[in-house]
Amino acid sequence: MATDTRTALITGATAGLGKEFARQLAGKGYNLVLVARNQEALASTAESLAGEFGVDAQWIAANLSDPAAPRALYDEAQARGIQVDYLVNNAGIAGPNLLEDTDWAEQQAFFQLMMLSIAELCHLFIPSMQERGFGRVINVASVAGRISRAGGCNYGPSKAWVIALSEELALTVGKDGVNVSALCPGYTHTEFHERAGLMDMKNSMPGWMWYDAETVVRDGIAAAERGKRVYASGRLYRLLDPFFQSVWTRRLFSVSDGR
């Protein structure tokens, strides 16, 4: 599939799913550009993957909650002469509660990271993939974007938007050899829940609802190769997804606030 001249840019590449995307794509021969905020983690991840797989692994530090970050990231890649063939928009957090958290700047930073940065990176990197007739884009969404539940009113809606964006992009650029996929993981063992202070919730849930990052990423890369526009990873979530989508069964999974 990949040649050693192809390059994958992965956001959120220092932990969890992003780190695993970097590992698996390096294993397929892709050179890497790793993106996240923590420079130490970026440098050590890049060094260890370059050593393990013999690929070129560069990193660019960026806070994708900053509206200036996607353009700066693109400009830095251009300045280094990097041509991005595989884009994984993966960086993400659980985020504030839309109604209960009062700091609007924090809300804005969340939506910038989860939605606008993804749109802008697609806007910047996809046209040159179209010109070259090859590209792969995986936008990491979530099963949370397939169903509505009472709660924070931020994470699920942002992921639903990522799914809609990916589907429309896929329909638009598929003819040019660029496959765009929204990957929808269910619960996955990463640092996500610990960072969000959700370990009690995680520990209270049955183990069979959880997948490891390796499985989710392997499913996602295979789905992108097959040109799947939306793909729920893990057998359980793939089985449930049609029920989330059906008008007849969707309501069974929509948990309201009790009214």
Ligand X SMILES: NC(=O)c1ccc[n+]([C@@H]2O[C@H](COP(=O)([O-])OP(=O)(O)OC[C@H]3O[C@@H](n4cnc5c(N)ncnc54)[C@H](OP(=O)(O)O)[C@@H]3O)[C@@H](O)[C@H]2O)c1
Binding site for ligand X (CB under 6 A): 11-18, 36-38, 41, 62-65, 90-93, 113, 140, 142, 185, 187-188, 190-192, 195
Q: How far is the CB of 210 from ligand X (least distance, A)?
A: 8
- Picking from 240, 211, 28, the residue whose alpha carbon sits closest to that of residue 136 is 28
Closest contact distance (angstroms) between CB of 77 and ligand X is 15
First and final CA of the chain: distance in angstroms? 52
User: For ligand X, which is the closer residue by CB, 130 or 236?
Assistant: 236
Distances, alpha carbon 153 to alpha carbons 146, 159, 160, 200, 232, in Å: 13, 11, 11, 20, 21
Q: Closer to ligand X at the Cβ: 72 or 131?
A: 72
- Of 2 and 163, nearer to ligand X (C-beta) is 163
CB of 172 to ligand X, least distance (A): 23
Cα gap 67→72, rounded to integer Å? 10
Complex with ligand X: residue 70 or 135, whichever CB lies closer: 70
Cβ of residue 62: shortest distance to ligand X, in angstroms? 6
Q: Which of 30, 86, 155, 231 is catalytic?
A: 155
Which tokens go with 201?
A: 């919730």
Nearest to 170 by CA among 257, 229, 119: 229
Give the gyration radius of the chain's Cα atoms.
18
Whole-number Cα distances in Å, 195 to 8, 16, 121, 182, 199: 26, 11, 25, 23, 9
Active site residue 231: no
Is residue 28 classed exposed, middle or buried when 0-12, 13-18 and 19+ CB atoms within 10 A define those classes?
middle
Active site residues: 155
